[in-house]
Amino acid sequence: MNKFNISMVCTDSTARFGPIVFREISAESLARMKAIGFNGVEINIKDPSDINLKAFIEMLEQWDMPVTALGTGRAFGEDGLSFIDPDPKIRQKAVDRIKQHVDFSGRVGRPVVIIGLIRGKIFDPVSIPRATARMEECLVKCAEYAREANVKLAIEPINRYETALINDVKQGLELIDRLGMDNIGLLLDTFHMNIEEPVIEESIRKAGKRIFHFHVADSNRRAPGYGHIDFLPVLRELYATGYEGFISGELLPVPDPETAARKTYDFMKDIFTAISNE
C-alpha cells in the first residue's frame, strides 16, 4: 500500500469560488495544514503572474509542502476566459493562461494543471458539437505546449449543473482517446461523481491509469463524513488502480475552516488505515 498523500486546495482572499477551505496563500495556511497532517497543497490561482514566484517557492520549501495540482477555473469565473468563447481572441487568451500555468508548474515541481471550467460553460444541446470542436482545438494547443515542458493536464468531469461539456468519466475517456495525447488524463472529483457516475467505483476502475489527480468532498460538498458517499469502496478502488498521487480536499469551509480541514484529514486517514490493514 502506498503512502497517505493528502492535500487541501488553497486560494487567495479574492477568489469567488466557494468550496475552498484555505483562502489565503500564506505561511500561516501552510502551517495550519501541516499541523493537521496534510503533506501537500493544491494551489488555485487566477493568474500565475500575480504570484511572487521566488517567495512562494521559499515558503513551500520552508514548510516542506509540495504543490499537488494547479487549479485554473478562476480564469473563467473571474476573467471570463474559456476554450469555447465565440471570440477567437478570448479562446487564445484562455490557451495563453493555461500556458502560464504550465510554466508555473515547471517552476514548482511539475504538478498537474487542471482543466475544469476554463473549458467553458454551455447548456444548449444544439451548440455542443461546435463548442466541443473549439474546446478540443484549445486543448490540443495546451497539451502540446505542456508536453514540451513535461507537464500533465488533468480534465475534470464536472456535473451537469455547471456545464454540459464532459460530465462523466466515460465522456472524459472518450475525449482523451480522440485527442490521443499521453499527457492528458483525468481529475476525478467525488462531489461530481456522486451526481454523474452510475457506479463510482466502476468508473474509477475504468479510468485506471488515466487518473492524474483526485478531489474529495462529500455528496453535499462538505468534508468527507458529513454526507452520504461511502468512501471506503471508493478509495479502495482508487488505490487498486495503482494511484499514488494526492487526495485533495476541495470542499466548503463549514461549519468552519479548521473543523472542515480536520474532519477531512481524520476521516480519510481512518479509511486509508482500514484499507492498509485489509
Choose from Mn ion, ligand LER, none: what does 196 bind? Cβ within 5-8 Å by kind.
Answer: none
Which member of 97, 134, 210, 215 binds ligand LER (CB under 6 A)? 215
Stretch that binds ligand LER, among 105-113, 155-163, 166-174, 202-210 (CB under 6 A): 155-163
Each residue 233-262 as x (binds Mn ion by CB under 5 A) or -, in order, gives: -----------------x------------
Do 135 and 179 touch, CB atoms closer than 8 A? no
Q: Is 189 a binder of Mn ion (CB under 5 A)?
A: yes
Q: Which of residues 211-230 bind Mn ion (CB under 5 A)?
A: 215
Q: Supply angle C-alpha 167, 84, 90, rounded to 5.
A: 140
Which member of 33, 81, 117, 135 binds ligand LER (CB under 6 A)? 117
Q: Is 214 helix (H, G, I), strand (E, B) or coil?
A: strand
Q: Closest Cα partner for 173 from 183, 184, 163, 162?
A: 184
What is the number of helices (H) and of strands (E) in the chain?
10, 8
Q: Which of residues 67-96 bind ligand LER (CB under 6 A)?
A: 71, 73
Q: Is 186 a binder of ligand LER (CB under 6 A)?
A: no
Choose from Mn ion, ligand LER, none: what does 162 bind? Cβ within 5-8 Å by kind.
Answer: ligand LER
Residue closer to Mn ion by CB (options 32, 215) is: 215
Residue closer to Mn ion by CB (options 141, 223) is: 223
Residue closer to Mn ion by CB (options 30, 247) is: 247
Q: What is the DSSP letter of 205?
A: H
Q: How far is the CB of 40 from ligand LER (least distance, A)?
A: 16
Grid cell for residue 144: 502540446
Q: How far is CA 88 from CA 32, 82, 94, 99, 139, in A?
A: 43, 10, 10, 16, 14
- Residues in contact with ligand LER by CB under 6 A are 71, 73, 116-117, 156, 158, 162, 189, 215, 250
